[in-house]
Every structure is written in structure tokens, then in C-alpha cells.
Amino acid sequence: MTKEAFESETLRLLDRQKLLRPAMEGADTVKFLFQAMLGVGHLLSSRDAVIAYILREAQALAPDPDEALTEEISPCWARLNLRRAMAEGIPAETVADLMAASRPALRFTRRDVYELCARLAAEGRYELTGAPEIERIPDEDWLPSHSEAYRRLYKPAYRVISMDQAAKLAEKYPR
């Protein structure tokens, strides 16, 4: 797959996100594109740390068997819904292992994410014009966050895994 084809498909998926979550702001778009291009590698400090973080987050969540288990965010990456994973009995250790086993089909850099976001902002798309998060993308110590409105309205609870790992989950937990 070419970079252009990847970007085109990812923007199609972003358009779908905007329809599902119309309160998305520029910060949410940056986070979506960051995850869609870079995946999960930046969060894998250690398996034990990942498991502990998932377990802490799960304490505030209610299992929901009606939510989708995964949601494609690019040709390479998907979001694994923790509420549905809990409903299916998927342990935090398995989620951590799925994250660790995830390998992208294409490799991108923070520079690639920055360039795409800057181009979209220049075109006046996706509420990115003037989004301060764009300038922070190249900073290796910075990670994007959802906007307060997004967190309040949509209560995101997911982990990013590769599409090949999402496909394996779909086989084991069909809808």
C-alpha cells in the first residue's frame, strides 16, 4: 500500500469517526491520526506497567457486550474497546499481549503525522486550523489527549492494536 492510499483510507475512517462522534475537536483529530499512523508502540514501557494501567482503568468501567469489540482507525491499526473486552472476559494480560504482538504493516514517524496534520490544517479540514497540538507532534516527550468534551461525551476506553491482531480477535469473538 502506498502512503497516499494509506492516508486516503485513514481520512475515510476519520470521516466516519466524525459522523459517529460529531463533538470531535482538533485535539481529537490529532490523537486519531497519531494513533492511526503510529499505533501503540509509544505506550509499551513494560508488560507489567501496561497490565497495571489497564486494570486501574477497568475499575471505573462497566462491561458492555453491545459495544463493538474493535474499531478500525487505519489500514494498520484498530482500537480495542475495553468495555466490550471486559464483557467477553478478555483479561488485561491478553490485552497487553495483543498490544505487544502488534506490528504495523507500514511504518510512519511523528514527522509523517505532523506533515499530514499540518496539510489538513492548511486546507481548513477537521478543525485543525490553529490547533496547538499540531506543533507538539514532533516532541518525543508529548502524547496527544482527547479533548475534555470528547472524554465527557464518549467516555473513550480502548487500547490500540494492529489490524492483524484485531482480525484474530474477530475470529475468536464474532458478533
Residue 44 binned pLDDT confidence (cut-offs 50, 70, 90): low
pTM of the entire predicted model: 0.93
Residue 66 binned pLDDT confidence (cut-offs 50, 70, 90): very high
161 near 77, Cβ under 8 Å? yes
Residue 123, classed as helix, strand or coil, is: coil
Per-residue pLDDT tens over the stretch 74-106: 999 999 999 999 999 999 999 999 998 998 888
User: How far is it, in rounded angstroms, from Cα 173 to Cα 101?
Assistant: 18
Q: What is the pLDDT of residue 155?
A: 95
Whether 41 has a pLDDT exceeding 70, the answer reads: no
Residue 130, classed as helix, strand or coil, is: coil
User: Who contacts 25 (Cβ-Cβ below 8 Å, separation ≥6)?
Assistant: 127, 131, 147, 149, 150
75 near 58, Cβ under 8 Å? no
Q: How does strand 70-72 pair with strand 77-81?
A: antiparallel
